Structure formats: C-alpha cells, structure tokens
Amino acid sequence: MLGSRALTKLPPEHRRVIVLVTDAGETTSVYKFEDARRAAIASEALIYTILIRPVPNESGRNTAGEHALITITDSTGGAMFVLDSFDQLEAMFDRIDRELRTQYLLSYYPHPSPPPGSYRHIELQVQGAKTIHYRKEYLTARSPK
C-alpha cells in the first residue's frame, strides 16, 4: 500500500516498478489484500516478486501468502520468481532489469468508454508466445475536478 501510494505521486511519464523480496509471510499488515491489490493497479506499477522460500516443503510455508503474491503480481503485469537461496538474488535482479529493458507498449481505446474510476479487465492473446506478462487490470482515468 505504501509503495503504491508513493508511486502515484510521480509524474505520469515516469515508469513505476515495485520489487518485493519476501518470504510471503504476513505478520503485521493493517491493510486488506484487495485494498493493496487495487492500490497497486491504481498506481500503474509493475510488481516483481522475488520469493525466497526458507522452507522447501509446502507444509511449512505460507502458501496463502504465496498465492496472494501470485495474484497481485499477475494483476499488475509483473512477474514472480522463486529462489531457493539468497545466492540467486543478484541473478534475479539482473533478470528483472533485462525484462524491464525489453518491453512493448500496446494501447487500445475501448468502445463504449467505461465510466471514470472503474476497474477494467484485459485479456491478451498472442500467437506463438510462450510466456507473456501484461497488466490484466487497469483503473480508468477519473474525471477532472
């Protein structure tokens, strides 16, 4: 929530990216998941999650937290990477850096125009694509006050 809110204050021409390095454990949040997801979408940030699993088997991990991270990462068009050790961290940052440097911008104009301030869902289909990351939701522009 805090990162998303901070990014909304940037000028619109600035690209917004949040990189989370986490074990997916949830211990102190005062915000609900859906509020955090919607704030990330509204900030237009790409969220990249680097999940470090300190416990390899599922019975000792916070799988609900992992699922929440998968959902929010996927909604924003980012990607999630799972590491088995901190030794892989530098390689993951390099991979995120490469991905951010090799992106395309696609735009469209929906007809009819949706109401201002509404959440919209997008489905993109590309022939022959193995893996594509794209923003699956966006918030339409609010009316000027």
pLDDT in tens, 63-98: 788 888 999 999 999 999 998 888 889 999 999 999
Q: Are 132 and 78 in contact (CB under 8 A)?
A: no
Fold of 2-104: Rossmann fold (3.40.50)
Give residues with Cβ within 8 angstroms of 132, minimum separation 6: 124, 126
Burial 17-37 (b: 16+ CB within 10 A, else e): ebbbeeebeeeeeeeebeebb
Sign of CA dihedral 29, 24, 136, 76: positive
CA 47 to chain centre: 3
Which pLDDT does position 61 carry in this prediction?
Answer: 67
| Statement: residue 129 has pLDDT above 80 | no
Domain ranges within the chain, ordered by starting residue:
2-104
Q: Assess whether pLDDT exceeds 70 at residue 55.
A: no
State the helix-helix crossing angle for 63-76 and 33-43, rounded to 10 degrees.
Answer: 20
Are 1 and 38 a contacting pair, CB within 8 Å? no
pLDDT in tens, 38-51: 999 989 999 999 99
**Measured CA distances, 53 to 47, 50, 57, 105 (Å):** 18, 10, 9, 33
For residue 18, the model assigns a pLDDT of 95
Whole-number pLDDT of residue 17: 94
Kindly tell me the sign of the dihedral angle through the C-alpha atoms of 21, 26, 32, 34.
Answer: positive
pTM for this structure? 0.81
